[in-house]
A and B are shown apart, each in its own frame.
Chain A
């Protein structure tokens, strides 16, 4: 392959995708950044001026809701990530170590099936389970465990439960790949040398799966801080997150410029996570290449 350095005619097949991505991806994000520093629509309004007022409005937060919304977004994202990791890890471990091919395929299907169901549908499912007259409260009252329904929904608890259900498959799939690449004989060697099963896991498998834990956690965190449907339906009036704030500014307040500034802030947070995620993945594939 002597001419491998020069682009071949096949490279032109990139053109349609490049055109679509420039027009409908790069340009719009540029427009959003520009809109965030204008007082109003600079095309239709000749009086629109350059301003940092929308960023100031967020930073100064005289209304006392914007910082709370940012913290609520990050807090919900963090709790969702930790819970997804705690309940996703055993399942990923089980899948990665399963001997039977059929069993593996069945569990994989069970993990992927929820992903094929839309976010709105899955949020609806959780509303029917957690509301005051929902499945859990009805059963507990019928069995005489409680007399009044537990507040399972319209708060952060319900939001986190539904978000975990929606995003835990991403955690499981990321972890399964990483745990599956760890040589099982390492753990067996530790056990032959006298370590108990728990100790062999904690001192051998767990540290080796750390890159997967990080990659899966960053993925789930990035997904859950940008969630809109679930917090707005499950959170009721109790929960206000950054994406909900953005939707308010577009829908009810019709202030697209402030929405753009909020968008840029959320984008900045996501980009930090994406860069970290890519670093970890690059390191993971590097290690795989060495093996």
Chain B
């Protein structure tokens, strides 16, 4: 496509351009690397440069009842959100793409809107609604709140897959005598599975890292991990937070990898 560039021995403009971009990558990645350094540094307060390597902060994190309760709650909520948003969002995307609905563009924009509005306002509005309904702040209320902001991700990834695949595959199955139910379960569903599960991965991470939506919806002693970390950081800034951060980064990463291994690859193999 592009014509070969005339190469000069040293190009100061090009060098500056690359230097700026190198700095930018440094800026993006160094903070995450620094968290790892502080998670392993044994000094009681955050101090630099690190003096050694120890696992005492990981020990403190895994031995702390508050941290562990929060981690368990966060994982439980994120797992529920994953299942709910895959079912609700996947179905919704199918209806949007295949339902011949009037006002499709408007409906799609409507189901995407939780992504566009400030998450802290979604949390505030739900807090007000639960308050008015007099139901307190139950865990299922938190799960539904997270589901609401996770569903758009599933809709988006599923719609992307639905747009890309050939409708004639479904039509061919129908012509060959498969009923609509059989076409759906044996053709459509396997085809959209990668998109749905990619959305599920996003849903899990969105819920597990969720702060603004949770802020007003958690009760004392029943807080999710990001809220517990936030409250801890207001008073203490030690390696326990870094260890907790590393654990949550690794957990998010392993969920992505496990889902990719278990379902993503299999779905692609079946294609």
Contacts and interface: CB of A to CB of B under 8 A. Distances in A.
Interface of A: 3-14, 16-18, 20-21, 23-25, 27-29, 31-32, 35, 41-44, 87-88, 90-91, 94, 99, 107, 110-111, 113-114, 116-129, 131, 133-135, 138-139, 165, 168-169, 184-185, 188, 197-198, 222, 225-226, 228-229, 233, 243, 246-247, 250, 256, 259-260, 263, 266-267, 270-271, 274, 277-278
Given A117-B249, A118-B211, 17 more contacts: A7-B101, A16-B91, A20-B147, A21-B111, A25-B114, A88-B24, A113-B32, A118-B245, A119-B226, A120-B226, A121-B249, A123-B233, A165-B31, A226-B120, A229-B212, A259-B128, A267-B117
B54 interface: no
Given A8-B98, A8-B100, A14-B95, A28 B28 contact: no
Residue of A28, A110, A222, A263 with highest tally of chain B CB at under 10 A: A28
A16 B121 CA distance: 23
B124 A250 contact: yes
Interface in B96-152: 96, 98-102, 107, 109-111, 113-114, 116-122, 124-129, 131-132, 134, 144-145, 147-148, 151
6 smallest A-B Cβ distances: which pairs? A226-B118, A11-B99, A118-B209, A17-B92, A125-B31, A28-B125
Nearest to A226: B118
Interface residues of B, number: 86
A184 B92 contact: no
B73 to A, nearest CB: 15
Nearest to B26: A110
A153 B73 CA distance: 32
A14 B128 contact: no
Contact of A229 (B102, B126, B230, B256): B230
Given A11-B99, A14-B101, A256-B127, A274 B117 contact: yes
7 contacts: A10-B98, A13-B91, A16-B88, A90-B21, A116-B256, A138-B49, A233-B233
A17 B111 contact: yes
Given A21-B111, A111-B28, A120-B233, A43 B101 contact: no
A85 to B, nearest CB: 13
B248 A118 contact: yes
A4 B87 CA distance: 26
Interface of B: 1-3, 13, 17-18, 20-21, 24-25, 27-29, 31-32, 34-35, 38, 45-49, 87-89, 91-92, 94-96, 98-102, 107, 109-111, 113-114, 116-122, 124-129, 131-132, 134, 144-145, 147-148, 151, 155, 180, 205, 208-209, 211-212, 215-216, 226, 229-230, 233-234, 237, 241-242, 245, 248-249, 252-253, 256
A28 B128 contact: yes
Contacts of A118: 208-209, 211, 226, 245, 248
Given A13-B92, A125-B34, A44 B29 contact: no
A16 B125 contact: no
Contact of B129 (A27, A122, A139): A27
Contacts of A41: 131-132
A121 B129 contact: no
A184 B128 CA distance: 52
Contacts of B88: 16-17, 20
Contacts of B113: 25
Residue of B95, B111, B148 with highest tally of chain A CB at under 10 A: B95
Contact of B229 (A43, A124, A226, A278): A124
Contacts of A185: 2
Residue of B49, B89, B120 with highest tally of chain A CB at under 10 A: B120
Contacts of B209: 117-121
A250 B216 CA distance: 8
A196 to B, nearest CB: 9
Contacts of B31: 114, 122, 125-126, 129, 165
Residue of A13, A17, A35, A270 with highest tally of chain B CB at under 10 A: A17
Given A8-B99, A11-B99, A246-B120, A135 B89 contact: no
Contact of B47 (A88, A138, A165, A229): A138
B248 A20 contact: no
A113 B249 CA distance: 10
B96 A14 contact: yes
Nearest to B3: A188
Contacts of A4: 100
Nearest to B16: A90
A279 to B, nearest CB: 12
Contacts of A10: 94-95, 98-99
